[in-house]
Amino acid sequence: MKLLDFIFLVTRLYLVFPLHPNPAHLQPFGSIGSLTSIKELEHEFPSESKLFTYYIPQGEPVLSRQVLNNDRSFSIWQNDEQLKNEVHGLADMNIELEIFRKQRPERVQTTFGEFLNRIQKESLFYANEVPAILQ
């Protein structure tokens, strides 16, 4: 009977006083503790001067939302057709590919435009460096 009382007491203490020293352990994020107000910028990044003089030295967080939606450089990467048409000279650039067939790779020369056409249908590997146009 004493053993049963001891197990009951230990179980009860374990449930009342958790072993982890952090009271927020395993609690929903942001549910315990003081909340910090974070400045949100819509459709923009903070300027370099503002970032390095205000946010970083003071350790103040900033959240930028929807910044890439209107960015031209990001938008041309949305699909292969757009990338081929928007970057002048990219589609005609000669590149080297590796085609994987029956465990033996085969190297071929082709254009970047042809690579973009074939990449969805075949197992291809782009073997050149990234073109300077895209860097």
How high is the mean pLDDT in each 10-residue block of the chain (135 residues)? 77 66 71 75 84 85 81 71 75 77 74 79 74 69
Please tell me the pTM assigned to this model.
0.41
Amino acid at 82: Q
Q: Give the end of a domain, one of 14, 47, 70.
A: 70
Say how many domains are in the chain. 2
Q: Looking at 23, 45, 70, which one is the last position of a domain?
A: 70
* Residue 38 pLDDT: 83
Cβ atoms of 104 and 97 within 8 Å: the answer is no
Per-residue model confidence (pLDDT) at position 33: 67
Domain span at residue 42?
A: 37-70
Residue 73 CA to residue 44 CA, distance in Å, equals 15
Q: Are strands 94-101 and 104-111 parallel, antiparallel or unpaired?
A: antiparallel
Q: Which among 21, 45, 70 is the end of a domain? A: 70
Same domain, 88 and 65: no
For residues 106 and 88, membership in a common domain is answered with yes
Q: Which segments within 39-123 are labelled E, that is strand?
A: 39-42, 62-65, 94-101, 104-111
Q: Are residues 123 and 95 in the same domain?
A: yes
CA–CA separation, 128 and 95 (whole Å): 6
Task: Determine, yes or no, domain membership for 62.
Answer: yes
